[in-house]
């Protein structure tokens, strides 16, 4: 598995979470979470929480935060094992480039990040020497990422597929990824509390 960085590709009224600037452009959602709505049944994104790393007129890219695999980073991507704690698992970041590793880290010096999502949290450069980059407070390794082409994410937001919320470092590096979807919904306030209690299988309701 090789390491990759996030890049936008051409292949890849204003909806909730997007605001219009004075020049008519849409404010980007970089550094925000996309929380899957209950109508989103795509298995890649059902009850997913996605960190958007970069978003502009050409599209958006990010990683799914709450899909931990059963495989340890040390086994899947040995060169990156030194970036994470022993026993840390590889996360499934999304369906794009699933054979490539994407590293999200909390940088002591954010200027060395390839893409800064918010505050000091960003994405490791593709050509970075994982053994010598240093200055990482913590890191998480993902297989693949999620990508949207121009206007695609805006359309999905308009359809109600996603709910947005500013990201916190504790979301990105959560110790309980299975609970993240419900936790973030509860953080949004009482109107989302009932939704946060819905089981993964609605037939169990």
Residue spans per domain, the chain: 2-101+143-191
Report the share of the chain in percent with pLDDT over 70. 80
Local confidence band at 129 (pLDDT 50, 70, 90 cut-offs): low
DSSP string, 86-153: TTPEEEE--SEEEEEEEEEEEESSGGGSSEEEETTEEE--TT--TTT---EEEEEEEEEEEEEETTHH
- Region of residue 117 (left: phi > 0; alpha: psi -120 to 50; beta: else): alpha
Mean pLDDT of 20-48: 83
Answer yes or no: is pLDDT of 59 > 90.
Answer: yes
pLDDT tens digit sequence for 87-109: 999 999 999 999 999 999 999 98
For residue 159, the SS3 value is coil
pLDDT tens digit sequence for 143-177: 999 999 999 999 999 999 999 999 999 999 999 99
Burial of 85 (0-12, 13-18, 19+ CB in 10 A): exposed
For domain 2-101+143-191, give the CATH number: 3.40.1740.10
Mean pLDDT of the chain: 86
Nearest to 33 by CA among 197, 204, 181: 181
Instruction: Name which residue leads in pLDDT, 104 or 27.
Output: 104
Answer yes or no: is pLDDT of 12 > 60.
Answer: no
What is the DSSP code (8-state) at residue 69?
E
* Phi and psi torsions of 11, nearest 5°: -85, -25
Mean pLDDT of 67-75: 97
């Amino acid at each position: 598995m090789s390491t990759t960085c996030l890049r936008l590709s051409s292949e890849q009224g204003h909806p909730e979470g997007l605001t219009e600037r004075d020049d008519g452009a849409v404010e980007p959602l970089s550094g925000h979470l996309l929380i899957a709505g209950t109508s989103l049944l795509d298995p890649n994104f059902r009850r997913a929480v996605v960190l958007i790393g970069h978003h502009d007129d050409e599209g958006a890219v990010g990683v799914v935060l709450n899909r931990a695999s059963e495989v340890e980073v040390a086994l899947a991507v040995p060169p990156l094992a030194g970036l994470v704690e022993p026993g840390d698992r590889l996360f499934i970041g999304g369906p794009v480039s699933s054979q490539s590793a994407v590293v999200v880290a909390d940088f002591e010096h954010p200027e060395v990040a390839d893409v800064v999502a918010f505050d000091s949290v960003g994405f490791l450069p593709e050509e970075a020497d994982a053994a010598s980059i240093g200055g990482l407070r913590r890191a998480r390794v993902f297989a693949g990422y999620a990508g949207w082409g121009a206007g695609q994410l805006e359309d999905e937001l308009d359809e109600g597929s996603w709910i947005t919320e500013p990201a916190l470092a504790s979301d990105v590096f959560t110790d309980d990824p299975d609970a993240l979807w419900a936790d973030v919904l509860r953080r949004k306030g009482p109107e989302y509390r009932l939704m946060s209690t819905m089981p993964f299988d609605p037939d169990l309701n």
